[in-house]
Amino acid sequence: MEIDNSLKMGLNIKNSRQGFTFIEVLVGTFLILVVFLGIVGAYRLGIQALNLSKNRIAAAAIAGGRIEMIRSLAYHEVGTLAAKLPFSKGVLDSSTTTVRNGVEFEIQTEVKFISDDADGTGENDDCDLDYKKAQVKVIWTTMFGGEVKLVTDVAPKSLIEEINSCVSQPAGLLSVEVFDAFGSWGAERGAPLIEIFDPVTDDLVDFFEPLGGKHNFPLAPGNYRAVVSKSGYSAERTYSIDEIAIPAKPNPTVFENKSTNISFSIDKTSSFSVDTLSTWGTDSFYDSFNDESKISATSSVVVADGEVNLFSDPEIGYVDSGFVISKTISPFKLAQWSEFLWNDFKESATTTVSYQALYYGGTDWLVIPDEDLAGNESGFVDSPVSLIGLATTTYPEIRVKAILSTSDASTTPAVYSWQVSWTAGIATPIGNAEFTLQGDKLLGYDSDEESVYKYSVVHLSDSNGRKDIPGLEWDSYTFSVDPESGLDLVGIVPSEHPIGLPPDSSIDVSLYLDSQDSLLLSVQDSITLEPVFSGEARLYNTGLNYDKVQYTDKKGQTYFVPLEPAVYDLEVSSAGYSSVLTSVSVSGAKTKTINLERVE
């Protein structure tokens, strides 16, 4: 019996709707798993909360019982076994354990003497151990661990009990006060951390964070190291004679029944942002003729698509001649004109391009005479042309002109780009320059009675000539450069030196450096004359054991300094360009431009 196709299709559809696909099974299983895990997680969270609550209640009961026991003890018994000042000796164990509901709890007890200014201190007080502060901490370390801490004050019932504390534990007072840069400490600044150390063992003896900046530490007679700090603030401490022969702030000594006073000054830290720079640099005007934005005048030429060509008439062909004149080139802080160069094309038999430099004569732009720029009146045809002899006072600004001509109406010369460069009194970053920053504050004097400064650090600027120095204390700072480095520090901005750095401030500093011999390298695209950023430049001389790699900045420049007078090998490369290997003779302040050709 045959079943037609429509009936078979209907049966197939019916069958497919009766089962689940594998994907549907996976999705269903995943949803069930998510629900199950949620239930288990909620259950575990509930168990955790229940256990935590149960253990906390038990710990609170243990701590409360311990506090009540302390209160029931005689005053001289309140303390821990073998305790040393500032902690009180007594009959209590500093640490013990107990078990409740199958959970082990550790009981930590600490009893510290407190000195109160209310009844005087030092010689004005019969005993600086005025009362005791007892702290009980109960800790459990099960899967859901935690702790409970209770504190209580215990005061002597009479002056006799107070004096007996000083008899059993002879004590003196170390009174520490903290000021800010202006000689006060407001509560709005928060609490500084005062730490007292044993200078022999480096053990922490005591610490406190007084909101008002002052605290009295009852201590056993002896020598201590005091340290004051606060997050975001400068730090200060005392020093032993083993650290500094003659410390400005020596470790304080505590005497029995006497008060030793010491003060510290801390405040919010500040920073310097330092640029290491040369006193000069190079700059240029260039045009690759993508448009007419850098052109002041044209005649019978067409500027388009990176070329200047003679105008062409469909009937007669190219015109005989035409010209293009740049916009005015007015360098900022011009020190010396350098050179005029160009890139062009001409058929030697039929086309020519000549170039001239122009100056403003009061009413019009005129050709600079040969007496100031030899060969300029007839025009230059070979690139480059040196402009070094051009007086900057007479010619503080110029224009350049290209004159195109042809004797064949079917051909035209082309100018692809031109460039005028100069030296200017503008800063150029000096990367990897070393300088010293030193504050005025002294820690003391060494065994030769030489000053030991709190801050004196040698820094190195990065490859871009930048160094940020955070975390500095308010002080007056001096910048200097080691003469042995080959660099001279010839100027600083701001000019006031040393530079005063107030608290919570940031100051930008420019260090102007100079060297007898250096190389300022400029790297640019050979067609567009655009600077090549992040080009790799390697300068080396094996005889001098000099080999250094630097990268060009956004102006396509990098500055090698200091150097020795010599001939160096130079390798320049950049992604997308053919590498250049050449040599350069360095003597004095040398500049060099490298044109990189694009890889097709």
The dihedral through the CA atoms of 40, 42, 47, 51 has a sign that is positive
Task: Domain ranges for the chain, please list them.
Answer: 34-168, 172-265, 281-424, 429-514, 518-596
Nearest residue to 266 via CA among 232, 309, 316, 215:
232
One-letter amino acid of 167:
V
How far is it, in rounded angstroms, from Cα 95 to Cα 114?
22
* Best CATH choice for the domain 281-424 from the list 1.10.10, 2.40.128, 2.60.120, 2.60.60: 2.60.120
Q: Domain 518-596 falls in which CATH fold?
A: Immunoglobulin-like (2.60.40)
- Whether 172-265 shares its CATH topology with 281-424 is answered no
Q: Please report where in the chains the tokens 């005063």 appear, as a residue.
A: 500
How far is it, in rounded angstroms, from Cα 590 to Cα 586?
6
How far is it, in rounded angstroms, from Cα 194 to Cα 213?
9
Cross-strand pairs, 342: 418
Per-residue confidence (pLDDT) for residue 34, from 0 to 100: 82
How many other C-beta atoms can be found within 10 angstroms of the C-beta atom of residue 584? 17
Nearest residue to 272 via CA among 473, 427, 463, 454:
473
Helix/strand/coil (H, E, C) string of 247-301? ECCECCEECCCCEEEEEEECCECEEEEEEEEECCEEEEEEECCCCCCCEEEEECE
How far is it, in rounded angstroms, from Cα 258 to Cα 73?
29
Reading the chain (600 residues) residue by residue, the pLDDT tens digits are 444 544 444 444 444 445 567 777 777 787 888 877 777 766 566 555 566 677 788 888 888 889 998 888 888 888 899 888 899 898 899 899 998 888 888 999 999 888 887 766 666 666 878 888 999 999 988 767 788 999 999 888 888 887 787 888 888 899 999 999 999 998 889 999 999 999 999 999 999 999 999 999 999 999 999 999 999 999 999 999 999 999 999 999 999 888 899 999 999 999 999 999 999 999 999 999 999 999 999 999 999 999 999 999 988 999 999 999 999 999 999 999 999 999 999 988 899 999 999 999 999 999 999 999 999 999 999 999 999 999 999 999 999 999 999 999 999 999 999 999 999 988 899 999 999 999 999 999 999 999 999 999 999 999 899 999 999 999 999 999 998 889 999 999 999 899 999 999 999 999 999 999 999 999 999 888 899 999 999 999 999 999 999 999 999 999 999 999 999 999 999 999 999 999 999 999 999 999 999 997
Q: Please report where in the chains the tokens 């293009």 appear, as a residue.
A: 324
**Whole-prediction pTM:** 0.77
Nearest residue to 277 via CA among 464, 424, 438:
464
Q: How would CATH label the architecture of 172-265?
A: Sandwich (2.60)
Q: Is 459:437 a contact under the CB 8 Å cutoff? A: yes
Structure tokens at 526: 């050979």
Longest dimension (CA), the chain: 126
Q: Is 445:336 a contact under the CB 8 Å cutoff? A: no
How far is it, in rounded angstroms, from Cα 564 to Cα 598?
33
Per-residue confidence (pLDDT) for residue 118, from 0 to 100: 72
Cis peptide upstream of residue 494 (ω within 30 degrees of 0): yes
Cross-strand pairs, 466: 275
One-letter amino acid of 504:
D
Q: Is 310:404 a contact under the CB 8 Å cutoff? A: yes
3-state percent helix, strand, coil for the chain, nearest multiple of 5: 15, 45, 40
Cis peptide upstream of residue 562 (ω within 30 degrees of 0): yes
How many other C-beta atoms can be found within 10 angstroms of the C-beta atom of residue 457? 12
Query: Quick one: which H or E segment has residue 161?
Result: helix 159-168
Q: Is 350:411 a contact under the CB 8 Å cutoff? A: yes
DSSP 425: S
Give the CA radius of gyration of the chain.
Answer: 42
Cis peptide upstream of residue 502 (ω within 30 degrees of 0): no
Per-residue confidence (pLDDT) for residue 16, from 0 to 100: 46
How far is it, in rounded angstroms, from Cα 119 to Cα 130?
8
CA 192, 197, 203 angle in degrees (round to 5)? Answer: 125
Q: Is 455:409 a contact under the CB 8 Å cutoff? A: no
DSSP 92: B
One-letter amino acid of 396:
P
3-class state of residue 452 by DSSP: strand
Structure tokens at 85: 């000042």
